[in-house]
Amino acid sequence: MQTVDRTCVVIGDAVRETRTALAAALRRNGYEVVEAGDGAEILDYVGDRVDDPAPVVVIADSRMPVLTGLHVLASLRNMSSVRVIVTAPFDDHRTHLLARRLGAAAMFDKPLDVDRLCAAIDGIAYAQSAISAGLRS
């Protein structure tokens, strides 16, 4: 799988085993990965990268403690270099609707299909890189 250079994927999930397994799978596919146990950790990490133009894709679980994936999405939706993928338990229609309204880049049910997730990340990162390149020229 080919990835967009320097794309950072931030995984936010309260369940350590889930987060660690997904991080390992994404690293095997060539991504730089950062793990966060809750939404506040995600916002702290992204805030520290505010001057870095490299695309950031956040994968945020809808049921994280402190700040849910939807809270993270609402907080980051105006940052041009950051896109958020929200994950939710299978068949959670309410969360899908809210995520779409808040501008989620994608929405995935758990358990996650890593190949589909990687394809979504690549598409999002490619679009973000193209937008950034257009803004710089």
Q: What is the pLDDT of residue 32?
A: 94
36-78 pLDDT, tens digit per residue, is 999 999 999 998 887 777 778 999 999 999 999 999 999 998 8
pTM of the predicted structure, to 2 decimals: 0.90
Q: Which residues contact 133 (CB under 8 A, 6 or more apart)?
A: none
Q: What is the pLDDT of residue 6?
A: 65
Helix (H, G, I), strand (E, B) or coil at 113: coil
Q: What is the pLDDT of residue 5?
A: 57
CATH 3.40.50.2300 assigned to domain 8-136? The reply is: yes
CA separation for the pair 24, 19 (Å, rounded): 9
Nearest to 111 by CA among 95, 91, 96, 85: 91
pLDDT-derived band at 87 (thresholds 50, 70, 90) equals very high
User: 97 burial class (0-12, 13-18, 19+ CB within 10 angstroms)?
Assistant: exposed
Q: Where are the domains of the chain?
A: 8-136
110-127 pLDDT, tens digit per residue, is 999 999 999 999 999 888
Say yes or no to pLDDT of 1 above 50.
no
